[in-house]
Each structure stands twice: as structure tokens, then as C-alpha cells.
Amino acid sequence: MDSLNTYLFIAAILFSLGLFGVITRRNGVAVLMGIELILNSANLNFLAFAKYGGMNMSGHIFALFVIIMAAAEAAVALAIIINIYNNFRTINVDDVRGLRQ
């Protein structure tokens, strides 16, 4: 278990699942969940390379900034989704096409 490749494979599978969620889900909130999975897999990669590259702490700092960015992204994305819901009465991202109404 204790090898770099194990973690890289786990992160790759997590990334693929997140990508699958983003491209097949049509609900805006569900797409957001897929994006969270992708961000987590990226973080896993950062920390795996930090550990096996001689405990380079820059990886930890990067992971920290990714988490901060994810928090900001989730807040703004949900504000946008709620606005879309108020305007269109749906959050199906395929139905949201009109630029003005």
C-alpha cells in the first residue's frame, strides 16, 4: 500500500468519477458535487507528491490554497444556482439557455 502509485491511482479514479458526474449530471448542484470530487483528487495528488518527494511542504501549502479556493467557489456557485432557480424555476443546466427574459 505504501507507494506513490497507489495514491496516484486512487486520485485518478476519484478524478474520473468526478468527471463522470460533471458530464452526466444535469442538476446544477450535482455538477457542483462532481467538481468537489475533482478538487479532492487534485489535493490527494499534491499531498502524495509532497510525501514521496521528500516531505516537501509546498505541496501542503498548495493543497491548503485549493481548499480555500473550493470554499469560495462553492459559495459563489450556489449563489448563482439559487439565482438561476429564481429566474428559470429549474436548475437543469440544459434548460438554462436564455440570456434574457
Partner 1 sequence: MMIDATFWFIVLLTLGSALMVVMNEKLLYSAIALLFTLFGVAALYVFLWADFLAGVQVVIYVGGILVLIIFGIMLTNRITSVNISHTSVQRGIGGFAVLGVLVVLGLMILNTPWHQVEYIEPAQTTATIGTLLMMEYLLPFEVASLLLLAALIGAAMLSRRAE
Please answer whether residues 84 and 28 qualify as being in contact, where contact means their C-beta atoms are separated by less than 8 angstroms: yes
The reply to whether 5 sits near partner 1 by the rule CB under 8 A is: yes
CB of residue 5 to partner 1, shortest distance in Å: 6
When binding is defined by CB under 8 A, the residue of 40, 96, 97, 100 that contacts partner 1 is: 40
How far from 17 is each of 14, 31, 39, 58, CA to CA, in Å?
5, 12, 12, 27
Q: Which of residues 8-37 bind partner 1 (CB under 8 A)?
A: 8-10, 12-21, 23-30, 32-34, 36-37
Quickly list DSSP for 69-86: HHHHHHHHHHHHHHHHHH
Q: Which of residues 57-96 bind partner 1 (CB under 8 A)?
A: 57-58, 60-61, 63-65, 67-76, 78-83, 85, 91, 94
The reply to whether 38 sits near partner 1 by the rule CB under 8 A is: no
Please answer whether residues 93 and 31 qualify as being in contact, where contact means their C-beta atoms are separated by less than 8 angstroms: yes
